[in-house]
Amino acid sequence: MIHLNDYPQASDSATLNDGNRIYPGDGVAPLRQILRDLRDNGFRGYLSLELFNRDYWARSADENLKTAMEKIRATVRSAMA
């Protein structure tokens, strides 16, 4: 299993923490390359998403799930294109 989170641009990456995790594709993590490298190295496992971002906690679980699935699918499709 691989956690698939993104992160925002930061002037100092040392300031990022779990609360900065955002949906895949909404940040600057090199997810396309990471996913391609995983595929090319034989990874066929699961992707998971953990959101500790308090801004997302204000949303319903259903809304977060729907958004997360859309973002994950779009990120994976883009990487595999």
Residue linked to tokens 């699918």: 73
pTM of the model: 0.89
Give the model confidence (pLDDT) of 10-60 as tens digits: 999 899 999 999 999 999 999 999 999 999 999 999 999 998 999 999 999
CA distances from 81 to 22, 23, 35, 62 (A): 23, 20, 11, 28
Amino acid at 26: D
* Residue 55, domain extent: 2-8+16-80
Structure confidence at residue 8 (pLDDT): 95
Give the number of domains in the chain.
Answer: 1
Q: What is the DSSP string of 4-33?
A: --B----SSGGG--GGG-B-TTSS-S-HHH
